[in-house]
């Protein structure tokens, strides 16, 4: 019996020694890791990417194999304070100011009830995620609908400072935009306080997994909500109905459905997994008397290429006297596309002789589908793109040209012209015959409810 007790003591002593060694080894490894990071100058705050190409800071937990469908290892917890503390410095609030046209008091109640429009300034709010920086700018991802039509942008950081920002690039179909803040406008204390968000893998999310949403809800400042992944691969259609995601559709956006509260102002904010990684960009909320409230976020893994492309676009300012194409146009929407089999985009109805489009060889009945690589679906979009380019600049257009009963795609380079007599443009628009030609060359009367063409030759009166 005595020998057995002594043997048991020896085993316990040996096991304790092994455990102690393991603890010491772990501490040494952690200390070595910290030391290497210190010596190599690694910082968890804002990092500059390569000068040639700005890229997203992706999680090191993500598999290098793009086909890997490993499940997420992030587990939920009732206490998300650590995640919030870590990620809040990478979330910003966005305030916009725009001008909208409204009917005046006299137009509503005056004699004969004549329409008397007036312009007023309106303010909007949204959220954004710090996703990188280049040599001169801090880059922030948000929703396109947050910055759409904004005359001015202001970005608010976690330390309550704010800076003016510019739209760097956007993809309206995917509801994505990247805005830029000049590094010269950000003081050193703010740079120390903020950080770049880590991008996770939304493909690895599991239904039922806990997530956290952070954003500028109702414009009151950053707030935090939590919930679960209610569903994956959702698609919000144009009529606000929800369907399954169609990966074959170029315009479809893959959405994550969540019960985490997403309210106005949350748009553009981050949906985070329990590792504090961005797995979605909060985008929309479905609410009605029959619905308690369902939130949707753009699945981040489906749009990383788009975001990186927008991050590397040239930042432009709107110019007062912008370049023109010298054409009269009309929107070809999806309804017309389905009815007549023509590509969706902007129909060239008339080409001004000697104008920019004429010099580039663009003919009437062509349909513009892309402007400088950006998809064009409405004449308003085309006008907005032009507002950033000066006369004399070269712009690449993608057009669909009639080829028998079909269309063929061509790419042309147009040297933008100068704006001319707006009075002539207005009178010319009023005389245009509304319509378009079908595949046989016949006039389609009352196409799009007799929508008038935009006088893109002169640059006024389009909005």
* Domain spanning 81-87+200-311, CATH class: mainly beta
Q: Please give the pLDDT value at position 432.
A: 37
Tokens, residue 81? 């304070």
The pLDDT of residue 4 = 53
Round to whole Å and give the CA distance between 209 and 73: 10
* Average pLDDT of the segment spanning 442-462: 35
Q: pLDDT grade, residue 142 (50/70/90)?
A: very high
Q: Residues 6 or more apart from 138 whose CB is under 8 A from it?
A: 46, 130, 180, 181, 182, 183, 186, 194
Q: What residues contact 162, with CB distance under 8 A and at least 6 apart?
A: 95, 154, 155, 156
Task: Give the integer Cα–Cα distance in Å for 92 and 140.
Answer: 8
Torsion, CA 187, CA 191, CA 192, CA 198, rounded to 10: 170
Class level of CATH domain 327-455: mainly beta
Q: Please, what is the average pLDDT of the chain?
A: 76
pLDDT digits (tens, 9 = 90+) for 28-53: 344 433 443 433 443 444 444 445 68
Token digits of residue 271: 């949906």
At 284 the pLDDT is 76
Residue 148 scores a pLDDT above 80:
yes
| pLDDT higher than threshold 70 for residue 448 | no
Q: What is the pLDDT of residues 334-345, one digit of tens each?
A: 888 888 888 999
Instruction: Read off the pTM.
Output: 0.69
**Residues annotated as catalytic (active site), given as ranges:** 145, 175, 267
Whole-number pLDDT of residue 136: 94
- For 69-98, the pLDDT digits (tens) are 555 556 665 579 999 999 999 999 999 988
> What is the Cα–Cα distance from 281 to 110, expressed in whole angstroms?
46
Tokens representing 233 are 């691969």
Give the torsion through C-alpha atoms of 353, 359, 360, 364, to 10 deg.
Answer: 10
In this structure, CATH architecture of domain 88-193: Beta Barrel (2.40)
Q: Which of 304, 305, 75 is nearest to 212 (CA)?
A: 75
Q: Which residue has the tokens 């507002």?
A: 387
Q: Is the pLDDT at 15 greater than 90, yes or no? A: no
d(CA 263, CA 259): 11
From the list 247, 231, 96, the residue with the least C-alpha distance to 162 is: 96
Q: Give me the pLDDT at residue 306, please.
A: 93
**φ, ψ for residue 118 (rounded to 5)?**
-140, 155
d(CA 230, CA 210): 9
Cα(307)–Cα(268) distance, integer angstroms:
13
Separation between Cα atoms, residue 337 and residue 332, nearest integer Å:
7
pLDDT tens digit sequence for 162-199: 999 999 999 888 899 999 999 999 999 999 999 999 99
Residues linked to residue 179 through DSSP beta bridges, in sequence order: 140, 167
Distance CA 168, CA 180 (A): 6
132-145 mean pLDDT: 95
At residue 92, the pLDDT reads 97
Residue 3 vs residues 10, 14, 279, 422: alpha-carbon distances, Å: 11, 17, 60, 108
Predicted pLDDT at 188: 96
Does 81-87+200-311 match 327-455 in CATH topology? Answer: no
Angle at 326 between CA 404 and CA 175, to 5 degrees: 80
Band (pLDDT 50/70/90 cuts) for residue 200 is very high
Of 9-13, 63-67, 381-385, 453-457, minimum mean pLDDT range = 453-457
Q: Which of 436, 391, 403, 202 is nearest to 298 (CA)?
A: 202
Q: Which pLDDT value is given to residue 5?
A: 54
Average pLDDT over residues 359-380: 92
Q: Which of these, 46, 130, 42, 84, lies nearest to 276 by C-alpha position?
A: 84
Residue 267 DSSP label: T
**SS3 (DSSP) at 230:** strand
Least Cα distance to 138 among 251, 47, 250 occurs for 47
CA-wise closest residue to 143 among 280, 315, 333, 316: 280
Domain ranges (residues) in the chain: 81-87+200-311, 88-193, 327-455
Read off the pLDDT band of 359 (50, 70, 90): very high
Sign of CA pseudo-dihedral 330, 331, 337, 341: positive
Rounded to an integer, the average pLDDT of 64-73 is: 52
Report how far residue 214's alpha carbon sits from residue 228's, in angstroms, rounded to the nearest whole number. Answer: 14
């Amino acid at each position: 019996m005595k020998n057995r007790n002594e043997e048991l003591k020896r085993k316990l002593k040996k096991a304790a020694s092994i455990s102690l060694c393991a603890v010491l080894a772990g501490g040494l490894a952690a200390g070595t890791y910290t030391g290497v990071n210190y010596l190599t100058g690694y910082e968890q705050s804002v990092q500059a990417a390569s000068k040639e190409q700005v890229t997203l800071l992706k999680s090191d937990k993500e598999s290098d194999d793009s086909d890997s469908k490993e499940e997420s290892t992030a587990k939920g917890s009732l206490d998300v304070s650590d995640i919030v503390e870590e990620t809040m410095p990478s979330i910003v609030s966005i305030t916009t100011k725009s001008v909208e046209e409204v009917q005046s008091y006299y137009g509503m109640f005056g004699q004969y009830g004549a329409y008397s429009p007036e312009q007023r300034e309106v303010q909007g709010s949204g959220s954004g995620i710090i996703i990188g920086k280049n040599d001169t700018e801090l880059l922030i991802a948000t929703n396109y609908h947050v910055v759409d039509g904004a005359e001015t942008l202001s970005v608010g950081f976690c330390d309550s400072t704010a800076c003016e920002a510019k739209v760097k690039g956007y993809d309206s179909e995917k509801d994505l935009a990247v805005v830029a803040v000049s590094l010269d406008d950000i003081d050193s204390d703010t740079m120390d306080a903020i950080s770049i968000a880590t991008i996770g893998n939304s493909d690895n999310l599991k239904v039922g997994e806990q997530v956290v949403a952070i954003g500028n809800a109702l414009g009151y400042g950053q707030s935090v909500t939590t919930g679960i992944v209610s569903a994956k691969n959702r698609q919000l259609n144009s009529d606000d109905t929800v369907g399954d995601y169609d990966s074959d559709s170029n315009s479809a956006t893959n959405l994550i459905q969540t019960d985490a509260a997403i309210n106005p102002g949350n748009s553009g904010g981050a949906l985070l997994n329990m590792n504090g990684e961005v797995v979605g960009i909060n985008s929309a909320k479905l609410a009605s008397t029959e619905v308690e409230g369902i939130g949707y976020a753009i699945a981040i893994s489906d749009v990383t290429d788009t975001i990186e492309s927008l991050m590397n676009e040239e930042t432009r300012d709107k110019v007062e006297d912008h370049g023109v194409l010298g054409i009269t146009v009309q929107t070809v929407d999806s309804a017309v596309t389905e009815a007549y089999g023509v590509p969706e985009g902007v129909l060239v109805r008339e080409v001004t002789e000697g104008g920019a489009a004429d010099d580039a060889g663009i003919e009437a009945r062509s349909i513009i589908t892309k402007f400088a690589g950006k998809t064009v679906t409405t004449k308003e979009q085309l006008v907005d793109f032009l507002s950033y380019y000066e006369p004399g600049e070269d712009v690449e257009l993608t057009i669909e040209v009639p080829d028998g009963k079909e269309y063929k795609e061509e790419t042309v380079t147009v040297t933008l012209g100068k704006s001319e007599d707006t009075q002539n443009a207005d009178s010319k628009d009023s005389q245009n015959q509304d319509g378009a030609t079908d595949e046989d060359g016949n006039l389609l009367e009352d196409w799009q409810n007799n929508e008038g063409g935009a006088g893109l030759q002169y640059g006024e009166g389009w909005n």
